[in-house]
Amino acid sequence: MKAREEARLGTLRMMKSALKKHEVDSMKPLDEASETQILKSLVKQRAEAADMYRNGGRPELADKEDHERAIIETYLPPEASEQEVDDAIAAAIAETGAGTAKQMGLVMKAVQAKLAGKRADGKALSEKVRSRLS
């Protein structure tokens, strides 16, 4: 507030409001996993909004959304590296003994458990697991 960073202040207030809303709606205190999930959803919303603004010819609003997304991402755990993702997938496949795409759900659960505390794009993760199992 003292630094007069209006964009950052607005983003932090929005994050606090989203966390508080979820806490009130669920009627129980937030744990770290649910806080992370809420912040991930806010990042996803900002990315989708930025894409829509770019497609609609509003680059200034897209830049604002990207800036907010960058601020929110600083409060999330670090992104898992490609090597960590590959290692987690290999370990999960070996652990579950999966060999077909039908067992993808088991592998995905195991991979996500191994990557706990790290961020990973679910869609990209799913595609990598699918390519390894087919």
Containing domain of residue 18, as a range? 6-73
Does 34 have pLDDT greater than 80?
yes
Looking at the structure, tell me whether residues 92 and 48 fall in a common domain: no
Looking at the structure, tell me whether residues 44 and 22 fall in a common domain: yes
Mean pLDDT of the chain, nearest integer: 91
Looking at the structure, tell me whether residues 86 and 54 fall in a common domain: no
Does 134 have pLDDT greater than 80?
no
| Residue 1 maps to a domain | no
CATH code, 100? 1.10.10
In this predicted structure, what is the pLDDT of residue 84?
92
Does 1 have pLDDT greater than 80?
no
Looking at the structure, tell me whether residues 69 and 103 fall in a common domain: no
In this predicted structure, what is the pLDDT of residue 116?
82
Looking at the structure, tell me whether residues 19 and 64 fall in a common domain: yes
- Pick the last residue of a domain from 25, 54, 73: 73
| Mean pLDDT calculated for residue range 40-49 | 95
| Mean pLDDT calculated for residue range 46-64 | 97
- Whether 31 and 88 have beta carbons less than 8 Å apart is answered as no
- b/e map 86-116, b = 16+ CB within 10 Å: eebbeebbeebebeeeeebeebbebbeebbe
Instruction: Express each pLDDT in 105-133 by its tens digit.
Output: 899 999 988 888 788 888 889 999 999 88
CATH code, 30? 1.10.1510.10
Looking at the structure, tell me whether residues 61 and 87 fall in a common domain: no
Query: Is pLDDT larger for residue 60 or for residue 117?
Result: 60
- Pick the last residue of a domain from 26, 52, 73: 73
Count of structural domains within the chain: 2
Does 99 have pLDDT greater than 90?
no
Instruction: Express each pLDDT in 10-32 by its tens digit.
Output: 999 999 999 999 999 999 899 98
Looking at the structure, tell me whether residues 53 and 22 fall in a common domain: yes
